[in-house]
Amino acid sequence: MGYGIKLKVWGDYACFTRPEMKVERVSYDVMTPSAARGILEAIYWKPAISWKIDKIHVLNKISFDNIRRNEVLGKIPANKVKNAIKGGDVSLYQDSNDDRVQRASLVLRDVCYCIEAHFEMTDKAGPDDTEKKHYNIALRRMKRGQCFHQPYFGCREFPVSFEFIEGDVPDSYYSGEKGGEKDLGFMLHDIDFEDENKAVFFRASMTDGEIDVNKCLCYGGLS
């Protein structure tokens, strides 16, 4: 784990939708590990590496806001896309005017997190893929602010600003007297893509603004 990184991420809005309330969206209180992984993958990812989230530091106070957005009802079916690839004559578009629904969301305001993560090599790694190489690429991209696509907080509408942290993690709102251990309930850890895209939950707990993902996983509750 010598090649860990610390990344500060912040934004005006965030919505880490709870699966049980994902239609009329209600956000989790803090960023989920899979959302953090998504941010890192937007900055740098190759099949040879897989990002593992170690800790999430919650730097700002958790506060909610209510918004309503127009979203679409349907999806472009996968079959249609397959058909189009085969050269079929299909129209691949969605008309947002016919296909619209208004959805309410309870979202987070003014979020700021620090992600501590490392990556592991996967079995797709070839002989040229060394940890050092990928670490340095990731580092350079983070420092320069480069990304493959704009990273976002749960929904594409909520972009992430990010900054590489060299030294210590900045102070959290929850360090000091507002701190202590806080149970956040069962939270989505990630999707198990090997096992029928099964959702895997873990009991998240925050101590002085810090969520130690590995420690939480050890406490059990994981199927």
Partner 1 sequence: MSLLRRSVVIIESLCRYYDILANDESVSISRPGYSSAKVSFNLIISGEGELLNIIDLRSDDKKPRPRMMDVPQQNSRANSVTPYFLCENAKYVFGVEKVKRADYEKKYLYKGGCVLLEDGEKEVVLTHPRSLECFEEFKKLHHSLLDVVNNPAAKGLLLFLDNWNPEDFVKNPKIDQYKDDILAGGNFVFQYERDDDYLHNSSDARRSWEKYNSVGSSKGAIVGQCLVTGESGPVARLHQKIKGVANAQSAGASIVSFNNDAFYSYGKDQSYNAPVGELAMFKYTTVLNHLLLSMDNRIRIGDTTTVFWAETSDKTCENLANFFLNPRDASKDNKENADENQRVKDEKTLQIANDVLKKISRGHKINSDDIKTDRDTRFYILGLSPNNARIAVRFWYMDSFGNFIERVSRHYLDMEIVRGDFDFRYISVRNLLRETVPESSDKGEVSPLLGGLMMNSILNGTAYPAQMYNAILSRVKVERSINYVRAGFIKAYLFRLSRSGLSSLDESLITMSLNEESQNVPYRLGRLFAVLEKVQGETNKDMGSTINSKYFSSASSTPAVVFPVLLKLAQHHIAKSEWGFVSNKSIEEILSEVNEFPEYLNLEGQGMFMLGYYHQRKNFYKKKESSSIKEE
* 74 versus 145: smaller Cβ distance to partner 1: 74
Residue 198 binds to partner 1 (criterion: CB under 8 A): yes
Site size toward partner 1, by CB under 8 A: 39
Integer CA distances (angstroms), 169 to 4, 14, 59, 126, 165, in order? 13, 21, 9, 34, 7
Q: Which residue has the tokens 């989790």?
A: 28
Q: Is 124 in the site for partner 1 (CB under 8 A)?
A: no
Q: Which of 42, 84, 106, 217 binds partner 1 (CB under 8 A)?
A: 106
From residue 30 to residue 69, the character string flagging contacts with partner 1 as x (rule: CB under 8 A) and all else as - is ---------------------------------xx-x---
Contact stretch for partner 1 (CB under 8 A) within 38-46, 51-59, 130-138, 199-207: 199-207
Dihedral of the CA atoms 129, 130, 134, 135 (nearest 10)? Answer: 170
Strand partners, 26: 106
Here the tokens at position 162 are 């990010």
Residue 100 pairs with which residues in a beta bridge?
72
Residue 33 parent element (H or E): helix 33-43
Piece of the chain touching partner 1 by CB under 8 A; list 51-59, 95-103, 113-121, 135-143: 95-103
Q: Where does this chain touch partner 1 (CB under 8 A) — which range of 34-42, 72-80, 151-159, 167-175?
A: 72-80
Rg (CA), the chain: 19
Among 1, 2, 70, 75, binds partner 1 (CB under 8 A): 75
